[in-house]
Amino acid sequence: MGERLDFLHRVSATLGEIDAQGLTKPERVIVSPQGARIEVETASGAKRSALNFCANNYLGLAGDPRLVAAAAEASARFGAGLASVRFICGTQSLHKELEAETAAWLGFGDCILFAACFDANGAVFEPLLDEADAIVSDSLNHASIIDGVRLCRAKRYRFANSDMADLEAQLKAARAAGSRTILIVTDGVFSMDGYLAKLPEITRLADQYDALIMVDDCHASGHLGPEGLGSRSVHGAEVRIDILTGTYGKTLGGGMGGFICADAQVIALLRQKARPYLFSNALAPSICGAALEAIRIVRAPEGEQMRQTLKSHAARFRSGMEAAGFDLKPGPTPIIPVMLGDARLAQTFAANLLDEGVFVTGFSFPVVPRGEARIRTQLSAAHSQADIDAAISAFVRVRDALAESQPQ
Ligand SMILES: *Cc1c(COP(=O)(O)O)cnc(C)c1O
C-alpha cells in the first residue's frame, strides 16, 4: 500500500517538474478534418477557425475527398479490419497491392507494411544485424530509430549530426573493431530543423568503407523531388539507399501505417523475423485504400503541380518572415522553424498566435535541445498565398504585442 502511494506521488512530482519548467505539451482539440484551415476548440470550449501551420500534411492530401472516398470504398469491399496478424489470416490482396505500389514507386525490390513507421524503425535492425555487425547512427535521428537500434545486438556508433568528418571517424572505428556489416542510418530530412541529410557524401563514405545505408524518409517521401521520390532525389548527385523506411501518416494522406523498402531478400527475412510485424495486427483496409490513392496522386502530373505549389509557398513564407526580422533555420524543405529560444516564450507565442487565428505548436526540450525552443512551421500545398501572408502578419502582431508587454 505504501509503495503504491509512493509510486503515485513520484508520478505527480515528475508531472509537476515538467510543468514548472514550462515543458508540458498541451493537446488542443480539433473538431474538423485536417486541412489548411481547421476548427479548434478554445480553452473556454468555444470553437474557432484557424489556419493550420503545423501539420505534416505537405500536399494537403489528409482532407482530400478522393482519399476519403478511397478509404470508404476499401472498407466496403474489404471490411473494417482483419482481426489477425499478416501471417495467420491478415493478408488481403489490398496489402499486397500497397506493398507492390510502394516498392515500384520508390524503386525497390519489395516493401513490407507496419502499423506505423515507429514500428518499422523498431523492427528493421534486430533481424538483420547481430553482435558481429555495427550501426553508425546520426545523433539527431528520430526517437524510433534510437529505440530500434537499442533492440539490436549490433555495436553502436554515433556521429554528430550531419558531421561527415565524424561519420568517417566512426566508420574507421567500426572497421578497426572488425565489424562485419556496417549500416549507416540517417533521417533523410531532420524534421525539427528542416534540412536534408548529406546523402551524396554519406554514399561516398559508405562506398569507401563498404557500408550499407538506411534512410528514414518520413518527412520527404511524396513531397520532395521529382515524382516525390524523396530526399535522395533532390541532391542532383549519386545517392545509394539500401533500406528506406517511411510512413503513410504524413504526406501520403496522413492516415497511418509505415513501411520498409529494400531488396526482396531483405524484406523476405523481415517478414519471417520482425517482431512488430509478426505480433501486431494487419493494417485496416481503409488505411491501405487511402494510401494507394495518395500514391496514385503523388505520381500523377497533378502531384508535380502540388510539389511546385508547396515549394513556392515555402519560399514566400521564408522570405516574408525573414523580411519581418524573424530568426529562421535555413533549409530547402517546407519545414521552417522560427527560433525563439525560451520554452515558455515558445508556448506563449503559440497560444497568442491561436488568438490571431494561426494554429502552430511550440517545441521545446526534450523534443529539441534546451535553449533552442521554437515554433516549427510547416507549409502545405493546400494553403493559399493569402493564408501565408495572413500567417506572417499574425507572427508580427504577436511578437510586437509581446515586446510591448515586456518590461525593458
Ligand atoms: C513521423 C516520423 C516517424 C514515425 O512515423 P509514424 O508512422 O507516425 O509512426 C519516424 N521517423 C521519422 C523521421 C518521422 O518523422
CB-based burial label for 160 (10 Å; 0-12, 13-18, 19+): middle
Domain boundary among 248, 277, 299: 299
* Same domain? 130 vs 218: yes
Q: What is the CATH number of the domain that holds 37?
A: 3.90.1150.10
Domain boundary among 250, 265, 299: 299
219 lines ligand 1 (CB under 6 A): yes
Residue 262: in which H helix or E strand, if any? strand 258-262
Residue 12 domain flag: no
* Same domain? 92 vs 34: no
pLDDT along the chain (408 residues), means of 10: 90 95 84 96 89 98 97 98 98 98 98 98 98 98 97 98 98 98 98 96 98 98 97 91 98 97 98 98 98 98 98 98 98 97 92 95 89 96 98 98 82
CB 280: neighbour CB atoms within 10 A?
Answer: 17
- Which numbered atom of ligand 1 lies nearest the CA of 249? 7
Contact 392, 313 (CB under 8 A): no
Strand partners, 111: 261
Give the residue, out of 112, 250, 335, with the most ligand 1 atoms within 8 A of its beta carbon, to mutate for a pocket test: 250
The count of C-alpha atoms lying within 13 angstroms of the C-alpha of 157, restricted to the half-sphere facing its C-beta, is 23
* Same domain? 313 vs 341: yes
* Same domain? 197 vs 335: no
Residue 204 domain flag: yes
Residue 60 domain flag: no
- How far does residue 247's CA lie from ligand 1's centre (Å)? 6
193 lines ligand 1 (CB under 6 A): no
Domain boundary among 299, 327, 355: 299
Residue 266 domain flag: yes
Residue 6: in which H helix or E strand, if any? helix 2-20
User: What's the total number of domains in the chain?
Assistant: 2
* Same domain? 275 vs 313: no
The count of C-alpha atoms lying within 13 angstroms of the C-alpha of 93, restricted to the half-sphere facing its C-beta, is 3
- Which numbered atom of ligand 1 lies nearest the CA of 189? 13
Q: What is the CATH number of the domain that holds 259?
A: 3.40.640.10
Task: Give the separation between CA 281 and CA 283, rounded to whole angstroms.
Answer: 6
Residue-number span of the structural domain to which 109 is assigned: 65-299
* Same domain? 95 vs 132: yes
Residue 36 domain flag: yes
pLDDT at position 25:
81
Give the residue, out of 117, 149, 217, with the most ligand 1 atoms within 8 A of its beta carbon, to mutate for a pocket test: 117
- How far does residue 5's CA lie from ligand 1's centre (Å)? 36
Contact 224, 189 (CB under 8 A): yes
Q: Whose CA is nearest to atom 1 of ligand 1?
A: 218
* Same domain? 237 vs 345: no
Residue 277 domain flag: yes
217 lines ligand 1 (CB under 6 A): no
- How far does residue 117's CA lie from ligand 1's centre (Å)? 5
Give the residue, out of 141, 193, 218, 250, with the most ligand 1 atoms within 8 A of its beta carbon, to mutate for a pocket test: 218
Is 313 marked active-site? no
pLDDT at position 236:
80
Residue 6 domain flag: no
* Same domain? 232 vs 277: yes
216 lines ligand 1 (CB under 6 A): yes
* Same domain? 330 vs 214: no
* Same domain? 204 vs 318: no
114 lines ligand 1 (CB under 6 A): no
Residue 163 domain flag: yes
pLDDT at position 14:
97
Contact 192, 368 (CB under 8 A): yes
Is 137 marked active-site? no
* Same domain? 281 vs 135: yes
Contact 255, 249 (CB under 8 A): yes
* Same domain? 358 vs 226: no
Q: Which entry of 198, 219, 223, 383 is annotated as an active-site residue? A: 219
pLDDT at position 408:
53
Q: Which entry of 137, 162, 179, 191 is annotated as an active-site residue? A: 191
Is 393 marked active-site? no
117 lines ligand 1 (CB under 6 A): yes
Task: Give the separation between CA 37 and CA 49, rounded to whole angstroms.
Answer: 7
